Amino acid sequence: MPLENLGKDFVNSHWKNIIINSEYMNSYQQPLQSYYSGFTANLLRDTGFYEQIKESMGEEILYAKGVGCQHFTDNYCNSYKDEFCLPKTEQGQCDFHHIGSSNCIIGQFNESRCHTYYVQLQKECWNIKNMQQSNNQQK
């Protein structure tokens, strides 16, 4: 698993955000939803302090699922992939996990060509109050 190489306080101590997003071992967590992957479960177990942890305790990660090795090569930030976005045309759209309305930005820990979705607080699509507020603001 590639480790983060951006941000002096995070180099080689977190999973790379653009490889596996919304994971608790990332240098940045989405404010509304994060996951424990099998990678993190295995890391914790392999330290010897958490021997009771099994790989099956990791949650299913859908980010980059089934995309193959090309997701991790030179052109892995292509905007045609669901994991990435175009900042000029995809602002306010649902994030990859369909949690809420998002900004399409270059994150603090992303390579300069990698635009990803960051969920806006108070914009969860499953929260009825947020939907009512949005409708009232549009009137």
Q: Is 14 annotated as a binding residue?
A: yes
Distance of CA 60 to the CA centre of its chain: 13
Q: Which two tokens stand for residue 22?
A: 């919304």
Which residues on neighbouring strands pair with residue 88, listed in sequence order?
A: none
What's the rounded Cα separation, in Å, for the pair 95 and 120? 10
Helix (H, G, I), strand (E, B) or coil at 39: helix
What's the rounded Cα separation, in Å, for the pair 81 and 95? 12
Closest alpha carbon to 102 in 90, 86, 88, 84:
90
Binding residues for Zn(2+): 14
Binding residues: 14
